[in-house]
Chains A and B, each alone.
Chain A
Amino acid sequence: QKEVEQNSGPLSVPEGAIASLNCTYSDRVSQSFFWYRQYSGKSPELIMSIYSNGDKEDGRFTAQLNKASQYVSLLIRDSQPSDSATYLCAARWGGAGNMLTFGGGTRLMVKP
């Protein structure tokens, strides 16, 4: 069974620090990876996607992918209290329906 694993947290970081969120996946055929941010009581919002090994940067966010080790990470630089949310990692396995498998999410708390 294809699985995506995340530490549920909470991960607590001080304002201005780098938050590092990690995700591992079980299947080597995974092709695409996504990070979603979900505020309490709201729906998930796509913030990053990554398809190739290495780093991808978008503003304060950097996604890192290592297919050999089967992990994906999200770094948030200069963390702000508004970044406090649950972050969901997802992997696409391919096939009809463009199926994503989601991890359980990591709750991030950024303290002022």
Chain B
Amino acid sequence: DVKVTQSSRYLVKRTGEKVFLECVQDMDHENMFWYRQDPGLGLRLIYFSYDVKMKEKGDIPEGYSVSREKKERFSLILESASTNQTSMYLCATGREGAYGYTFGSGTRLTVV
């Protein structure tokens, strides 16, 4: 089974802090994604990457950046955390072709 590991299950950070969310997958998938999920708003794509060092903006990239230095690792960076970034963050991976994604267990981030 594909394993997608997110480094933290719960995280509390202060406003203005720089926050790193890590996602590691062990199945050599090309594509990796970062979503946030908020009640009533569904899944919203922040950034995705389809290759090492490649990144593409999703629907809501403002306030975020990403890094993919190795195929198995995709990091989401909140440059200066704000309270409106309090959310559940979900990493997902997928391989090329007609396949679904596999999600990590999620990180519930609270910015105070």
Contacts and interface: CB of A to CB of B under 8 A. Distances in A.
A34 to B, nearest CB: 4
A97 B103 contact: no
A43 B95 contact: no
Nearest to A6: B42
B31 A97 contact: yes
A88 interface: yes
Interface in A24-51: 31-32, 34, 36, 42-46, 49, 51
Given A97-B56, A98-B31, A104 B42 contact: yes
Contacts of B48: 97, 99
Interface residues of A, number: 23
Contacts of B95: 98
Contacts of A102: 42-43
Given A46-B101, A104-B42, A105-B42, A98 B96 contact: yes
Contact residues of B: prevailing secondary structure = loop
Contacts of A51: 98
Contacts of A97: 31, 48, 50, 56
B42 A43 contact: no
B50 A92 contact: no
A34 B100 contact: yes
A32 B56 CA distance: 22
B50 A46 contact: no
A21 to B, nearest CB: 15
Nearest to A102: B43
Most buried by B among A43, A49, A102, A103: A43
Given A36-B100, A100-B101, 4 more contacts: A43-B105, A43-B106, A46-B100, A100-B100
